[in-house]
A and B are shown apart, each in its own frame.
Chain A
Amino acid sequence: MADAILAEGLVKRYGAVVALDGLDLAVPEGTIMGLLGPNGAGKTTAVRVLTTLLEFDGGNASVAGLDVVKGARELRRKIGLSGQYAAVDENLTGFENLDMVGRLYHLGKQPSRDRARELLERFDLVEAADRPVKGYSGGMRRRLDLAAALVAKPVVLFLDEPTTGLDPRSRLGMWDVIEELVAGGTTVLLTTQYLEEADRLADKIAVIDHGRVIAEGTSDQLKAQVGGERLELTVASARDVALTKAALAPLAIADISVDERGNHVIVPVSGGADVLVEAVRLLDGEAIKVLDVGLRRPTLDDVFLTLTGRAAEEDLTDGESGA
């Protein structure tokens, strides 16, 4: 399969600040790549470069087989961009927004109108279609923005933090819409700071930090990097901690760690739910009183923490914007 997006050693500097520091990326046709990283990691900069909006200082990139510099004009016909801030005109109605974009893609008068109506229907905006966007909710604006990115049926779609700032319900709605889209074969580059979002939507995830990719793979591969499952238990009394440790030793695939103060025991295991049942049986046999027990799989939060030594959301208050 050919790569719909290919970036090699992209470098972008803003004065002394290095926004992209040799970014490599390859997204096969028809797949979703999640670009995951905290604010200021370089996600938006990467999207701007790949969508021809930003000149860069080094490396090269092609999208849909076209060089982003030499083929920029032609490339813009083939891509759709839906940004972090819904770039729709508040004073225009939903229909007028989409119709304008259609006209600027040179679809022609009638086809442009038809396409606008079609998208409004698909994105559940028919009722609001002829009202100015000013009165739309945040979720509706994002849907309209995404619709605008789809007007010319792009082969590659860039979604820059499509759900940032949305309430949970609107976010779920957006996810449904995006999933439906990709089922149609569009290649998508999705940036997000939400691990859950990348986990759910992306075929492959590139973790990006300080302008470069620090890990890449499927969600499962990345999770495997930080280790498999673990059993987490909280026992009723401190005396039981040692007993628990001894009882569960046969199940552990690595060292059991203990937090004495919290009466907390963590046992690395493999084998899924069966292990959990076995553990409960063993503890019951020893008459150990367990307050809480659970099988935990690593989340992408764990992945990020392991890879960068800090939590993904930690950087959110960083002053570095626009990256």
Chain B
Amino acid sequence: MNGFVEALADGAVVAKRNLIKVKRVPDLIVFSTLSPIMFVLLFAYVFGSAIEIPGINYREFLMAGIFAQTVLFGATITGTGLAEDMQKGIIDRFRSLPIARSAVLIGRTTSDLVNNVIVIVVMSVTGLIVGWRIHSSFLEALAGFGLLLLFAYAVSWGMAVVGLAVRSPEVVNNASFIVIFPLTFIANTFVGTTNLPGPLKAFAEWNPISAVTQAARELFGNTSPQFPPPDVWPLKHSVVASVVWSVVILALFVPLAIRQYRKAVAR
């Protein structure tokens, strides 16, 4: 127990270091928020003029999907950040210090979570400007944001494994783009899944991102009674499914990431 508290305290020191970088290199946060703002505007005005969701304004339907996509891309910073630290020998320095093997990873994922919170705030404001509204209670809305962040946090640990294995920030970037981009599109994020061709439809319905998007939509009150989710378990019980997915991802990748870190040797 004592060791765990120490790991958390050390993690906080590392997180602080990462956040100083965000402060010193504001371009990072500017660009990681500009692209979601662009996405909100593009989808709201370009696709929004062509896509009809019965019983609800497309812009309201859209926001949960964009939130989910954005926090996932936010989680990839964990991978690039660690790969960069590997390259520069900073991981070697950390590994030569008397700290828990999990401390650096806890710090990294935590600072990336904070980063994601900032991004979500910026996006929410953009959403509100283009006509998105929360129709649920304050607590439900909070739960919605919490769920999005929990899922992103879990994915962060997965990205940590990638970042420590690949060792080059550019490669992490490209690799995660190739995986995350389709994952967030073959889902209910931007369109309904009903008309997708067979295999894609099944994939979209069981895609964890669909569950998270559906859950956020419900918790924000952005659903339409005329447009119910497909009759599959993870979308009917989207909140539970999102939590389960997050826990499963964490249970899988936390130990893997720590193992990877222990063996990580720069260059």
The finding on whether chains A and B are genuine partners in a shared complex, rather than unrelated, reads: yes
* Chain A residues engaging chain B, CB cutoff 8 angstroms: 48, 51-55, 73-74, 76-77, 79, 81, 83-92, 96, 100-101, 103-106, 132, 148, 321-322
Residue contact B13 to A87, C-beta cutoff 8 Å:
no
Residues of A within 8 A of B237 (CB): none
Q: Name 12 A/B residue pairs within 8 A (Cβ), A-sorted.
A: A52-B96, A53-B265, A84-B89, A87-B92, A89-B17, A91-B21, A96-B20, A100-B13, A100-B17, A104-B99, A148-B93, A322-B267
B21–A51 CB distance below 8 A: no
A85–B88 CB distance below 8 A:
yes
List which B42-91 residues lie within 8 A (CB) of chain A. Answer: 88-90
Q: Please, which residue of chain A has its CB at the minimum distance from the CB of B100?
A: A73
Q: From A52, which residue of chain B is reached at the shortest CB distance? A: B96
Contacts of B89 in A (CB 8 A): 83-87
CB 8 Å contact bits of B1-15 with A (1 = contact, 0 = none): 000001000100110
- Beyond A91-B21, A100-B13, whether A48 also contacts B93 by CB under 8 A is no
Indicate which residue in A79, A88, A103 contacts B96 across the interface (CB closer than 8 Å): A79
Chain A's nearest CB lies how many Å from the CB of B237? 43
B98 near A73: Cβ-Cβ < 8 Å = yes
Do most interface residues of chain A lie in helix, strand or loop, or is the interface mixed?
loop
Known A-B contacts A73-B98, A104-B13, A104-B99; the reply to A87 vs B93 at CB < 8 A is yes
- B: residues with CB less than 8 A from A are 6, 10, 13-14, 16-17, 20-21, 24-25, 88-90, 92-99, 103, 263, 265, 267
Q: What number of residue pairs across chains A and B have CB atoms under 8 A from each other?
A: 72
* Contacts A53-B265, A96-B17, A96-B20 given; does A104 touch B88 at CB 8 Å: no
Which B residue sits closest to A145, measured CB to CB? B93
- A74 vs B97: C-alpha distance when bound (angstroms): 10
The reply to whether B96 and A76 contact each other, CB–CB distance below 8 Å, is yes
Which residues of chain A have C-beta atoms less than 8 A from B98's C-beta? 73-74, 76-77, 104-106
Residue of B nearest to A85 (CB): B89
Q: How far apart are the CA atoms of A321 and B266 in the complex, in Å?
A: 11
Which of B6, B20, B92, B265 sits near A92, CB closer than 8 Å? Answer: B20
Additional A-B contacts beyond A96-B17, A106-B98 (19; CB < 8 A): A48-B265, A51-B96, A52-B95, A53-B92, A54-B265, A55-B263, A76-B97, A79-B96, A89-B17, A91-B24, A92-B20, A96-B20, A104-B10, A104-B13, A104-B99, A105-B98, A132-B24, A148-B93, A322-B265
Q: Tell whether, in the assembled complex, residue A104 and residue B90 are in contact, meaning their CB atoms are under 8 Å apart.
A: no
Across-interface contacts of A81 in B (CB, < 8 A): 92-93, 96
Closest CB in chain A relative to B103 CB, distance in Å: 8
> Whole-angstrom distance between the alpha carbons of A148 and B94 in the complex?
11
